[in-house]
Structure 1
Amino acid sequence: MIREAELTRTPSPSRWLEVSTVRELSQLARLRGEWNALLDDSRAGPFNAWEWLYPWCRRIGSDRQPFVMLARDRGGSLTGLLPLGFEHHWVLGRTIRRLAFLGETHVGSDYLDVVARRGREEEVARTFARALWELRDQWDVLDLTDLREDSVTVRVLRETFEERRVATRLTERYVCPYETLAQGESFDDFLKRTSRRDNYLRRKKWLEKQEGYRIEKTEAPGALAAPLTDFFRLHASRWESDGGSQGIRGRGVEAFHRDATQLLAERGRLRFYTMKVGGQAVASVYGIVHGDTFIYFQSGYDPAWRNRSVGLVLVGETFRDALEAGLTEYDFLRGTESYKSDWTTKRRHTVSLRVLSPGGDGEWFVRREEGMRQVREVAKRLLPQDAVERVRRLRRRLSAVRG
């Protein structure tokens, strides 16, 4: 355990910060209250929540050693945190220590970042950047994935390391479609500025005539069992013909979502929407409310109802609910699927930042990655396209079986 005094302070006496690290899951568990208070007073994204990252550590990242950096002011108040963890790779007789975000794999965590009190983002980011530099002998590769491209953290880390003649590598990751919602705007007015208005209204009119048509919205922690079961079934059905979902696959990921949805619901952040016809669930949306934003996380529908556009109608109803709740943004997260562009006009991007510790063995990790990438590219060129797709589907199925 690194003691606080062994790390770094910002130079301004009025903005003095002290950094410590949390390296045990039991310590991480006790941070929930402080973490939540900090997140609520920050601009950080939804997947930096304790309710997301703690179950990720338990269910998916059990092989990662937490390395959560905390920044406190003179009074001991938590002012910032950086949720990292260690992953170890064995490459040609060397143990490569890769330091990365908690929550980076398997669950689609966009907008990972430093969590800092509003107005103190740059100060906290610089404090953590200097601490990472001071601790450079403890890691070989620093990989920070899926930050927003306009993140202060990206700029500050690049400046900090490049000032010390350490190269950084910035790469593009995903496009995230989103839409702003005007205060006081009606759903009918919103529909007029989309390309799906006529189809949505026609399909909804037909569905409303079906016996037992209704949409159920679930928010309470004690009411999640049925809608979550319906969601898993519908999501799996939607992707079955494509070899399985890439977003939710395997028992470990399902266990994570059972934990995370319960914790998010306890914070009033969860929204499940389930469309039923004749008592049978035919479509589902798994959403998260973060501040003034509705996050469309995942969905599913019964393929037998595809031609009735049940997914389209249910997405429209989530927009209606967001507007009626006074939310000001609707975020589809990563992916450029056509149904997202039908509802949105805006895009943001995510990026990844990589730094190799000077004198470390990170270069070996990069060489192995590059070698594996070249092997995949050669295989794609040599195999017929339908064979490549069959291999992808087989890999998804095997991944789901292994959980």
Structure 2
Amino acid sequence: YIIEIKNKDQTIGIFPFYLYKRTLAGMSIYVLKPIGSGESDYLTPVISKKYATEVTLQSVFSRLHEEKKTWDYIDWGEIPENSFLDTVLRKQSYLGKLLFKRKKSDICPFINFTDNSDDFKIKLNKNLMKEIIKKDRRLKKEGKLVFSIVQSDQEIEPIMNTFFTFHCERWSNTDTPSKYRNKEERDYAIRTAKNLFKSNLLHLAYLKYNNEIIAIDFGMTDGKKLYLYLHAINIKYKKYSVGQLLTYYLIEHAFKEGYQIVDFLRGDEDYKKKWGTDENFNVKYMIFNQSIKSKILYTLYKIRHSKTFNQPFILKRISYLATEDK
């Protein structure tokens, strides 16, 4: 279910959805979701900067309204709070053609360098800084520690292959083994990295110690923001906290290069807070049309997510009844 927006013969926007069917109380319900739902940290459409974003989005929702017989609701999550998409969707909700419900979902920690601080270190956890300085000095005393960023297409595959090795070793004896054991996943990641590089969006960085790679970060950048997507470490050097060391070098690099944001992406893990992060949220939109079925679903959704429905005693009763049914 791909929506393409054109100005004459030129594509100015692509909205990749997929349509699937679910059943509720014997009723077939057709749901639209963006491709990548559940897997992506952020889900925003591809829109040309040469054209007014709001106008492009309005044309999309006009088309969705015209085709309302093909879908019952849209489930669109992973939208960055206060992003252009969030802002436009809020405006669309007042137009009355479609029914919107918005709620916050995942926390997305980030470091903001636009607060005029002359030293990013003042925001970092003091104990973390002491540990980093200690490990950094120890490694440099015993050998040569070098921070590098991939600069050529030829570097990508060997660095990524080392990344896969580290990632598989790290998660080999856990309940969540690395997806990179699968050749298809490895090939896909390499293709993605190369395509990102061609578009000047790849930020593949690593630490070398005495000419041996000890940590790798597979990240992205748009020139203003650095996205820390996934890292892997050489477990032989685990006692040196090389993952934290690499993160520190990445933050320092971003600060010196004039980046505005270092984005840790979604997830409120405790380790992210130690880096002096602020919090942003992803938001989720449930969008319903004006058909009878969709209005019923809209009403049920509002009831399910109301404060009254979510009182502990009601949830406990529902849980008890569900147990009885079994």
Quickly name the TM-score band, shorter chain normalised: 0.7 to 0.9
TM-score calculated relative to the size of structure 1: 0.64
Q: Is the 8 A contact 1:284 1:301 kept in 2?
A: yes
CA distance in 2, matches of 1:101, 1:249: 27
- Of 257, 271, 277 in structure 2, the residue corresponding to residue 345 of structure 1 is 277
Query: Quick check: 1:292 aligned with 2:224?
Result: yes
- Of 102, 107, 120 in structure 2, the residue corresponding to residue 190 of structure 1 is 120
Query: Which residue of structure 2 aligns with residue 102 of structure 1?
Result: 35
CA distance in 2, matches of 1:257, 1:301: 17
Quote the offset at 1:242 in angstroms. Answer: 4.1
CA distance in 2, matches of 1:210, 1:68: 57
Q: Is the 8 A contact 2:103 2:284 kept in 1?
A: yes
CA distance in 2, matches of 1:295, 1:251: 25
Quote the offset at 1:113 in angstroms. Answer: 4.1
Equivalent residue runs for 1:55-94 within 5 Å: 66-72=1-7, 76-79=9-12, 81-89=13-21, 91=23
Query: Which residue of structure 2 aligns with residue 359 of structure 1?
Result: 291
The change in CA–CA distance for 1:192 and 1:150 in structure 2 (over 3 A counts) is closer
TM-score calculated relative to the size of structure 2: 0.77
Equivalent residue runs for 1:252-263 within 5 Å: 252-263=184-195
Query: Which residue of structure 2 aligns with residue 122 of structure 1?
Result: 54
State the secondary structure of the residue aligned to 1:201.
Answer: helix
Query: Which residue of structure 1 aligns with residue 255 of structure 2?
Result: 323
Quote the offset at 1:238 in angstroms. Answer: 3.2
Deviation digits for residues 250-274 of structure 1, max 9, x if unmatched? 5544333221111001122212222
CA distance in 2, matches of 1:146, 1:247: 22
Equivalent residue runs for 1:3-402 within 5 Å: 66-72=1-7, 76-79=9-12, 81-89=13-21, 91=23, 96-106=29-39, 108-113=40-45, 115-117=47-49, 120-157=52-89, 160=92, 163-164=95-96, 166-181=98-113, 189-195=119-125, 196-211=128-143, 213-244=145-176, 251-359=183-291
Q: Is the 8 A contact 1:332 1:340 kept in 2?
A: yes
Name the aligned partner's letter for residue 320 of structure 1: E
Deviation digits for residues 72-111 of structure 1, max 9, x if unmatched? 2xx65544x24222232354887654322233243x3325
CA distance in 1, matches of 2:213, 2:9: 50
The change in CA–CA distance for 1:91 and 1:120 in structure 2 (over 3 A counts) is same
Q: Is the 8 A contact 2:168 2:178 kept in 1?
A: no
CA distance in 2, matches of 1:169, 1:184: 37
Q: Is the 8 A contact 1:104 1:145 kept in 2?
A: yes
CA distance in 2, matches of 1:249, 1:347: 33
State the secondary structure of the residue aligned to 1:271.
Answer: strand
Q: Mind listing any 5+ residue stretches in structure 2 that lack a counterpart?
A: 305-314
Name the aligned partner's letter for residue 326 of structure 1: G
The change in CA–CA distance for 1:116 and 1:351 in structure 2 (over 3 A counts) is farther
CA distance in 1, matches of 2:207, 2:173: 22
Q: Mind listing any 5+ residue stretches in structure 1 that lack a counterpart?
A: 1-65, 383-403
The change in CA–CA distance for 1:329 and 1:351 in structure 2 (over 3 A counts) is same
Deviation digits for residues 11-45 of structure 1, max 9, x if unmatched? xxxxxxxxxxxxxxxxxxxxxxxxxxxxxxxxxxx
Name the aligned partner's letter for residue 99 of structure 1: L
CA distance in 2, matches of 1:332, 1:300: 15
Deviation digits for residues 311-370 of structure 1, max 9, x if unmatched? 111111112222333322211111122222222332211011112344386778x99xx9
State the secondary structure of the residue aligned to 1:244.
Answer: coil
The change in CA–CA distance for 1:278 and 1:114 in structure 2 (over 3 A counts) is closer
The change in CA–CA distance for 1:228 and 1:176 in structure 2 (over 3 A counts) is same
Query: Which residue of structure 2 aligns with residue 4 of structure 1?
Result: none
Name the aligned partner's letter for residue 69 of structure 1: E
Q: Is the 8 A contact 1:178 1:345 kept in 2?
A: yes
